[in-house]
Structure 1
């Protein structure tokens, strides 16, 4: 899954693809580099980010989704709002990537059921401005699993079929670095929930902290090698997909992993 942020304030590439033509060109490049899905987002969900209104978010994603879908690109929309998801689905998106797992908007799960789209339910406890205040766990994997199971139950109650559900442990969302590492190391336990797992570690701050030089974290655009390592480990643990900025490098790493698995 290739990341396409049409936002001014995303942590890694904010502002680069606000123009529709630039965003579409980058989305096509992600597809050509090997992305199976291009994930278009119109609102930053980085820690501390402030919300934008629904009309602004929908305006950012609508034309980009439509242009990519018209060119045959499978598109997902990264949003917590049912109104924005509906715009994207009407313009050709095939998947909704809801980082709130349907908690932020009570209309999201009924919309997914009505449309029959695939939906990613991510583990989430609060919006970006305050989410790190909720990063308290005893056993992070057990608690994330239990809370994701609750979202699955809510999706089923809304009429979403099991084969339409993907789960995401939500690295960095109400998580400290130690929580991210433990979730990564115990990813097979999340697979035991019985649903495909989307894994999203790309360029996140805990990788920058790991690679810090003195007190200075490695900057986001210098975290791709570390991200590749997380992606290969996630593939090996059975992840359905990884959500990344560097699609070509990830596709190459996946090809090496697949060839090695076949040879073994």
Structure 2
């Protein structure tokens, strides 16, 4: 096995005054409150379903629940701020009260949605746009002092796949993250998690080039989140569909863990937790 490349000295996150240990890889599970998600098994459309799934996710080993109310799949339909809020905030309130032990992440690029969701009981912000789609997002994250997941993307979900093309994808991401991290640090934000944005403004080949160079992001010494789960970079390449992409997801998650990833964002908690356990086992011998 390749040497352990996860050199990150940052081993905790401050979640509403409580320090959460992230020294070992962990699972973030996707909970979609939108009918437009590319993987229909991840969608919920009522409170009872959301609570049942959250309980299952926690029992299977998820540490973070990533709640989204705006589909970010390529070509996804636009959703108004009001609609996103109406889907997100009541569900966050209900889940946080029912499962106070759950750490809730808000998948949004809108500062208002992030702010109101944190007020309703959420703990992290997961911004696919890296602050590009709402100029108030960075200041909002800094004001709230919650962990901020900084993802790489070009354009919007509607046009991102027309904005591919990189001279050197790892170096391009290092430049991007360097500028964004500096801005966030100046604003006083303490906890930053990096997400390379697999599947966002990247061709299939570019996604795999990036995975091959993933260790290069160790330079930032920040927690690294990856999200391959059932994406087209898997099923288009293998010639199947999202419903048959779990095996491919597990393989890419394994590679990413060996290259330093610390958080796996997935639809399938049990498979991801087993993947982490087996990779960690190889590191003890």
Fold shared per TM-score above 0.5 = yes
Is 2:164 aligned against 1:135? Answer: yes
Q: 2:189 & 2:231 partners in 1: Cα distance?
A: 31
| Cα distance, 1:68 vs structure 2 | 2.1
| Cα distance, 1:251 vs structure 2 | 0.5
Deviations 1:99-150 (A, max 9, x none): 0011111111111111110000000111111111110111111101111211
Is 2:221 aligned against 1:191? Answer: no
Structure 2, unpaired ranges of 5+: 1-27
Q: 1:223 & 1:63 partners in 2: Cα distance?
A: 32
| Cα distance, 1:21 vs structure 2 | 2.0
Conserved? CA contact 1:34–1:251, under 8 Å = yes
| Cα distance, 1:14 vs structure 2 | 7.0
Is the partner of 1:192 in helix, strand or coil?
A: helix
Q: 1:244 & 1:259 partners in 2: Cα distance?
A: 21
User: CA 1:63–1:28 in structure 2 vs 1: closer, same or farther (change >3 Å)?
Assistant: farther
Deviations 1:212-259 (A, max 9, x none): 1xxxxx110110111011111111111120100011111012111112
Is 2:37 aligned against 1:21? Answer: no
State the partner residue of 1:77. Answer: 106
Ranked by relative contact order (alpha carbons within 8 Å, sequence separation 6 or more), the top structure is 2
Conserved? CA contact 2:47–2:91, under 8 Å = yes
Instruction: After TM superposition, list the pairs within 5 Å mapping 1:1-264 onto structure 2.
Output: 1-13=28-40, 16-70=43-97, 71=99, 72-161=101-190, 164-212=191-239, 218-262=240-284, 264=285
How does the TM-score come out when normalised to structure 2?
0.87
Higher fraction of strand: 2
The count of residues paired between Structure 1 and Structure 2 equals 256
Conserved? CA contact 1:9–1:15, under 8 Å = no
| Cα distance, 1:194 vs structure 2 | 2.0
Deviations 1:72-107 (A, max 9, x none): 211000000001001110111110000001111111
Conserved? CA contact 2:38–2:73, under 8 Å = yes
Cα-Cα RMSD: 1.3
Conserved? CA contact 1:8–1:16, under 8 Å = yes
